[in-house]
Amino acid sequence: MTHRLAVAVEAPQYSGLGGLLDYLGGPLPPGSLVRAPLGRREVPGVVWDAPPADPAQAPLPDEALRPVAQVLSSLPPLSAAWRQLVAFTSAYYQRGLGEVALSVLPPELRKLDDEKLARRIAKLRKSAEKGATPDAGTAAESAETAKPAVPDAGLEPTLTEDQRAAVEAVTAGADSTFLLHGVTGSGKTEVYLQAAAHTLAQGRQALVLVPEINLTPQLEARFAERFRGRRLVSLHSGLTPAQRLKNWLLAHLGLADLVLGTRLAVFASLPRLGLIVVDEEHDPSYKQQEGARYSARDLAVYRGRLERAPVLLGSATPSLESWQRAQQGRYKRLDLAQRIGGGVLPEVRLVDMSLLPRTHGVTTALSPQLVDALRERLALGEQSLLFLNRRGYAPVLHCTECGWKSGCPHCSAWRVFHRSDRTLRCHHCGFTERVPRACPQCGNLDLQPLGRGTERLEEQIAEALPGARVARIDADTTRAAGALQERLAAVHAGEVDVLVGTQMIAKGHDFRRITLVAAVNPDSALFASDFRAPERLFALLMQAAGRAGRDASQAARSQMWLQTWHPTHPLYAALRRHDFERFAASQLAERESAGLPPYTHLALLRAEARTVEAATAFLEDAAARAGEFTEAAEVLIYPAVPPPVARVADVERMQMLLEAASRGALQRLLWQWMPVLYELRAAHKGLIRWAVDVDPLAI
Ligand code: ADP
Ligand code: ZN
Ligand code: ZN
């Protein structure tokens, strides 16, 4: 007997609503993994719930359908909730169902046949029974897995009043979303830990999301220490394919109690999900920037509602979206008002750079005041941290005679001067050349760097503070495996006096000996065209400030220095008072009057082509076709414009913004429009790529 199966496969073309193809096969529950023929290939697929019959279209006769090739029957089917999450992601972010479903499953799953998979699963179950531990990629290792209930009494500190109220609210509030607002060191992680302990004690699983893979080991260590005897697995892109499969399987089989991971972990299959934590919920890394451009934070909220699990969003500087929802009462706000142990936040000091005597050529020098402060910390044996959001020696090299600058021939961007290997490198396309001996335009031998990057800052610090041990952490110094951990360990061990780096070092790290943090040149974000730039800058500076004085005994003397040309800017005024609420209120007022999110809803249509004309033509045709739909009346479609970096690797980019007061109206238009865009794409031969970005981070 043959049954009809609706299967989600990665179809090469847009396969319409749902993206399901019909196959023949035995009776299989939805959520089963199969392999199915597609053209001349055999592709993985997930058996889906049969869509309602379409009265406008007669179904294909059985004879026209092909049978599925293989069934991975040893894998328990993916749950209805998981399928619903995938279906929502596909619909909301306008990508094929099969594409989303398969891109969020571990890639190894595609390679194994049923027999191999069955053996792996049997092995995992067996080792779980013995209480033996999963190895690589798994942090909590213990022989007591079988022991039930709260294994961690005694390790927990007594909660503060605020923390207790937060834990109680979360543990009592099935299917609510909570916004936990508290500065660095106010005890947010302790709230996550105790909320998770409660979830585990109920026999349910907890999912904890962190923005960056670099930050997973620290949080993982803390969870592992607390939950000895529980099985904790991580899911992030830094795992080997085999580790990722194993950890995913442990979660899917219900053998892991806790899953800790980056944005892709929001799709982990968790049969007993009881809590979702999103740490640093404001962080832009939660937004996927290719394929289905989903926001893991937003999907976490959706998933929590779907599976009746509380969602705990934590941040010192919540996103304005979440903040507004909390104000509207859609999220429950929980505040941790103080740093644990009464630690105070660092004093914020502004250095007015416009008052400094102008030294030739150099605009953003180190101020003498800051150098003095660094010298003082050095004498006391305390550490300082300086950050600058630019790697390399200088962002541009220029000719003092004719004004030539080190542009990239393939991009609309400058090539960065890297002094260590005397190269000019494009940070957009990677194009690298040795620094020319003379100006390529006039032959002048005097080529000078303009501005500064971390490499130059490191050099300047070393000159200004002879004898100081200076370390630099940025993408250039941490490329080698283990290099980052090694450098961080040196900082923790007190082998470094001054740490210089990009924003990589401003986030999350629990440095104990740092008493001074300085932002060398934070101004550029104040006047950026990106409407979220101030929000991001404020979050970064608050977070950086949180790196100072983490040890309560030193907190009173800790300082955060800002070198600025705009010392009266309201953003800095709010930062001085560590006043997120005031900052958020002023930002929200600005967003409201400018008609920006969260007061409006946006989508971007991006196009890439060899020529600006080809990219623009596609967007203009797309806009014209959108006008045919009645939904377009509620959506404002802006003219096509180039993004800030318009040309990358000889490809021209253009984009078009869609804005609507209602999320529903925007979604309805996108739904109508997508098939048209696929159709148009075929007609525009000059087009290389196009994509829709719903709720884009930058416009
Ligand atoms: P956050 O996540 O907000 O930065 P943490 O949860 O990491 O804050 O807390 C900061 C420090 O205070 C940590 O070392 C933590 O172990 C400690 N801590 C947290 N809560 C308590 C408490 N109730 N009693 C004692 N120490 C605590
Ligand atoms: Zn020249
Ligand atoms: Zn380039």
Question: What domains are defined for the chain?
Answer: 3-105 (3.40.1440.60), 114-341 (3.40.50.300), 344-392+453-591 (3.40.50.300), 394-451 (no CATH), 601-694 (3.30.70.360)
pLDDT tens-digit readout, 639-695: 999 998 999 999 999 999 999 999 999 999 999 999 899 999 989 988 999 999 999
**Cα distance between residue 100 and residue 292, in whole Å:** 7
Which atom of ligand 1 is the closest one to the Cα of 163? 23
Residue 372 identity (one-letter amino acid): D
Question: Is 280 close to ligand 1, i.e. is its CB under 6 Å away?
Answer: no
- Ligand 3 center to residue 431 CA distance, Å? 5
pLDDT tens-digit readout, 474-518: 999 998 888 988 999 999 999 999 999 998 888 767 787 899 999
- Average pLDDT on 568-590 reads 94
- Ligand 2 center to residue 445 CA distance, Å? 8
More confidently predicted of 510 and 311: 311
Helix extents (H) in 465-532: 483-492
Q: Using CA positions, which residue lies closest to atom 6 of ligand 1? A: 187
Question: Is 552 close to ligand 1, i.e. is its CB under 6 Å away?
Answer: no
pLDDT at 218: 79
Question: CA geometry: angle at 532 spanning 572 and 588, to 5°?
Answer: 75
DSSP class of residue 544 equals H
- Ligand 3 center to residue 132 CA distance, Å? 51
Parallel/antiparallel/unpaired status of strands 347-352 and 423-425: unpaired
Residue 418, number of CB atoms within 10 A of its CB = 19
Which atom of ligand 1 is the closest one to the Cα of 339? 10
**Cα distance between residue 622 and residue 669, in whole Å:** 12
Which atom of ligand 1 is the closest one to the Cα of 159? 23
pLDDT at 12: 59
Q: Using CA positions, which residue lies closest to atom 18 of ligand 1? A: 187
pLDDT at 141: 38
- Average pLDDT on 125-138 reads 65
Residue numbers in the known binding site are 399, 402, 408, 411, 426, 429, 439, 442
- Average pLDDT on 596-616 reads 97
Kindly tell me the sign of the dihedral angle through the C-alpha atoms of 319, 321, 326, 331. negative
pLDDT at 137 over 50: no
Parallel/antiparallel/unpaired status of strands 3-9 and 41-48: antiparallel
Kindly tell me the sign of the dihedral angle through the C-alpha atoms of 645, 575, 506, 590. negative
Question: Which pLDDT band, with edges at 50, 70 and 90, does 136 fall under?
Answer: very low
pLDDT at 359: 62
pLDDT tens-digit readout, 401-417: 999 999 999 999 999 99
- Ligand 3 center to residue 570 CA distance, Å? 36
Parallel/antiparallel/unpaired status of strands 514-519 and 559-564: parallel
pLDDT at 304 over 50: yes
Q: Using CA positions, which residue lies closest to atom 5 of ligand 1? A: 187
**Cα distance between residue 48 and residue 5, in whole Å:** 8
Residue percentage of the chain with pLDDT more than 70: 94
Residue numbers in the known binding site for Zn(2+) are 399, 402, 408, 411, 426, 429, 439, 442
Which atom of ligand 1 is the closest one to the Cα of 158? 23
For the chain, give the mean pLDDT: 90
Q: Are the C-beta atoms of residues 487 and 506 closer than 8 Å to each other? A: no
Compute the CA torsion angle 514, 263, 323, 509 (nearest 10 deg): 0
Ion ligand 3 neighbours, Cβ < 5 Å: 408, 410-411, 426, 428-429, 431
- Average pLDDT on 458-477 reads 94
H or E element in which residue 310 lies: none
pLDDT at 13: 54
Residue percentage of the chain with pLDDT more than 90: 74
pLDDT at 143: 33
For the stretch 661-684, what's the b/e string if a residue is b when 16 or more beta carbons lie within 10 angstroms of its beta carbon? eeeebbbbbbebbbeebeebbeeb
pLDDT at 597 over 80: yes
- Ligand 1 center to residue 553 CA distance, Å? 15
Question: Is 160 close to ligand 1, i.e. is its CB under 6 Å away?
Answer: yes
For 370-381, the DSSP string reads HHHHHHHHHHHT
For the stretch 259-284, what's the b/e string if a residue is b when 16 or more beta carbons lie within 10 angstroms of its beta carbon? bbbbbbbbbbbbebbbbbbbbbbbbe
Question: Which pLDDT band, with edges at 50, 70 and 90, does 147 fall under?
Answer: very low
Question: Is 257 close to ligand 1, i.e. is its CB under 6 Å away?
Answer: no
Minimum-distance ligand to the CA of 163?
1
Which atom of ligand 1 is the closest one to the Cα of 160? 23
Question: Which pLDDT band, with edges at 50, 70 and 90, does 525 fall under?
Answer: confident
Question: Is 454 close to ligand 1, i.e. is its CB under 6 Å away?
Answer: no
Q: Are the C-beta atoms of residues 413 and 645 closer than 8 Å to each other? A: yes
**Cα distance between residue 500 and residue 490, in whole Å:** 13
Question: Which pLDDT band, with edges at 50, 70 and 90, does 339 fall under?
Answer: confident
- Ligand 3 center to residue 213 CA distance, Å? 27
- Ligand 2 center to residue 396 CA distance, Å? 14
pLDDT at 160 over 60: yes
Which atom of ligand 1 is the closest one to the Cα of 183? 3
- Ligand 2 center to residue 397 CA distance, Å? 11
pLDDT at 436: 95
